Amino acid sequence: MSEYQLYCFAQSGNAYRAALMLNLIGADWQPIYVDFFKGGETRTPKYRAEVNEMGEVPVLVHGGKKLTQSGVILTYLAERTKKFLPRDDDGRLEALRWIIFDNQKVNGFLGPYRFLKNFARPAGDPAVMAFLKGRIDNNLAILDKRLADRPYILGAEPTIADLSLVAYLYYPVEEFGFDIAAQHKNIAPWLARVKALPGWAHPYDLMPGYPPNL
């Protein structure tokens, strides 16, 4: 058995954060496929009793530990391996600030928008989609401005803040209906820099479940 096991599925940007981190640090890990769509696995009493009471992915299993929430998983792996870990206490607080902003504002809106556009039946109400798109545009502009004078979120080196923020940004343009990289001049080269890191892989190559079992 691999050292780490990750409960995940290919369409989950939240799970992609953890899977990408595991791959970038060269961890011995294996994905455990969660049938989110057709099987509704995360909504079953068994999953909530045995895997994650919150009914979510990702879930990282490491020995006797079972960790949920992608920010917790990123922090655990960074602290354990000293990779993608900010260099000092101020940097760690700054990384946490951007991880929270990401979860609430960036991918916190991109994830629901993409789900309602591609996977929900029926698809999202146009008024709801317009509301989400407005928030997405505003929050991506904040991210783009941050990257105007630095290669990575905290400065010269990539950290877990970057790995959190890229969670949904490598999914195909057609799944959003707009091209994030093309519309934000500083986000595009940042995504290219992260993509160039040894061990990077696309979410559909890194995690099982593509195409989705709808």
Return the amino acid letter for 207: M
Do residues 76 and 160 touch, judged by C-beta distance below 8 A?
Answer: no
Q: How confident is the model at residue 105 (pLDDT cuts 50, 70, 90)?
A: very high
Do residues 88 and 35 touch, judged by C-beta distance below 8 A?
Answer: no
- Sign, CA dihedral 79-83-89-93, equals negative
Distance CA 61, CA 3 (A): 9
Structure tokens at 98: 């951007």
Mean pLDDT of the chain, nearest integer: 97
| Tens digits of residue pLDDT in 24-52 | 999 999 999 999 999 999 999 999 999 99
Instruction: Note the pLDDT of residue 213.
Output: 83
- With pLDDT > 70 as the criterion, what percentage of the chain qualifies? 100
- Helical H segments across the chain, by residue range: 13-24, 45-50, 70-81, 89-101, 107-118, 126-146, 160-165, 180-183, 187-195, 203-206
Q: Helix-strand-coil percent breakdown of the chain, rounded to 5? A: 55, 10, 40
Report all structural domains of the chain as residue ranges with CATH numbers, in order of start. Answer: 4-82+200-206 (3.40.30.10), 89-195 (1.20.1050.10)
Instruction: Note the pLDDT of residue 214.
Output: 83
| Strand pairing report for 29-33 and 4-8 | parallel
Instruction: Note the pLDDT of residue 133.
Output: 98
